[in-house]
């Protein structure tokens, strides 16, 4: 059953962020009182900023964060009515340029800072498609204090819109990155995980990769059959502690 976090004590609502090419829809959650809050950008799975991603934002807000989840492929299409992952990837997700995503995340961070967010305490977390983005953004934004990537792809074919993958930018990471992966994930083989471990070690970058032996892909997605409660709970605690350790608190 999907977890639902209440909004008591929170300011949780839809917002729009001015970006190149239009107004970027997003979901934002933070404590109702106080500020300025550390900021965590939350990056969606292929299914967009759905109820689960909004709930992640509320969970982070309960911990004292301003959590902001932008709809990062609003220019390419709306996936909310789509149910077939292959259709979502083919018709929308594959057409989203990495450069566009990086620029939109920069604008989202600036938007949070113009509100009640503290741009000096900036973190990011992402799931599946967003997990890969969390690695890439750690190599893009030098202001980022910490990143947590949940089962994001690490290697694979490239194309003009997606010219590199995390394993190829390990030496350019600006901040500590925590990677959370499942040993039973058929879409991200363990040899990819080991390649990433070797790449960050060779570059002498601060990155830790945790592999859960009983988890597959999307083990944090409590609304899907892939959910693995023990791994998800442990990963959440590790994420919380990672942010606190590296100044996103």
Indicate the pLDDT class of residue 80, thresholds 50, 70 and 90: confident
The predicted model scores a pTM of: 0.98
User: Of 11, 106, 110, 217, which is the active-site residue?
Assistant: 217
Active-site annotation holds for 84: no
**pLDDT per position as a tens digit, 105-116:** 999 999 999 999
Does residue 94 fall inside a structural domain?
yes
Rounded mean pLDDT, 67-91: 93
Partner residues linked to 125 by β-bridges: 42, 148
- Supply the range of the domain harboring residue 24: 13-245
Catalytic residue status for 162: no
Total count of domains within the chain: 1
Interatomic CA distance for residues 184 and 193, integer angstroms:
12
Residue 4 domain flag:
no
Q: Is 127 part of any domain?
A: yes
Whether a cis peptide bond, with omega within 30° of 0, leads into 36 is yes
The one catalytic residue in 55, 98, 104, 185 is 185
The answer to the question of residue 152 being in a domain is yes
**What would the DSSP string read from start to end of 62-100?**
HTT-EEEEE-TTTTT---TT---HHHHHHHTGGG--HHH
The residue annotated as part of the active site, out of 128, 175, 220, 228, is 128
Does residue 246 have a pLDDT over 90? Answer: yes
Residue 8 lies in a domain: no
pLDDT at 81: 83
Task: Give the CATH number, domain containing residue 131.
Answer: 3.40.50.1820
pLDDT digits (tens, 9 = 90+) for 44-57: 999 999 999 999 99
pLDDT digits (tens, 9 = 90+) for 114-164: 999 999 999 999 999 999 999 999 999 999 999 999 999 999 999 999 999
Residue 185 is among the residues annotated as catalytic for this protein: yes
Write the pLDDT tens digit of every residue in 203-213: 999 999 999 99
């Amino acid at each position: 059953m999907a977890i639902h976090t209440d909004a008591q004590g929170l300011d949780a609502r839809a917002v729009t962020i001015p970006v190149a090419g239009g107004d970027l829809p997003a979901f934002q959650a933070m404590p109702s009182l106080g500020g300025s809050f550390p900021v965590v950008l939350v990056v969606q799975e292929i299914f967009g900023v759905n109820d689960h991603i909004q709930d992640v934002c509320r969970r982070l807000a309960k911990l004292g964060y301003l959590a902001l989840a932008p709809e990062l492929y609003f220019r390419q299409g709306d996936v909310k009515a789509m149910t077939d992952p292959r259709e979502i990837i083919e018709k929308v997700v594959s057409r989203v340029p990495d450069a566009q995503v990086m620029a939109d995340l920069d604008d989202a961070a600036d938007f949070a800072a113009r509100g009640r967010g503290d741009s000096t305490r900036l973190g990011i977390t992402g799931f599946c498609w967003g997990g890969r983005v969390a690695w890439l953004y750690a190599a893009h934004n030098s202001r980022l204090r910490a990143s947590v990537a949940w089962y994001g792809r690490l290697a694979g074919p490239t194309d003009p819109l997606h010219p590199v993958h995390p394993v190829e930018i390990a030496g350019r990471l600006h901040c500590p990155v925590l990677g959370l992966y499942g040993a039973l994930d058929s879409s991200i083989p363990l040899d990819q995980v080991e390649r990433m471990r070797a790449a960050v070690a060779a570059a002498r970058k601060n990155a830790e990769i945790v592999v859960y032996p009983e988890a597959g892909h999307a083990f944090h997605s409590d609304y899907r059959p892939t959910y693995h409660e023990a791994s998800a709970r442990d990963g959440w605690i590790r994420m919380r502690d990672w942010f606190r350790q590296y100044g996103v608190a």
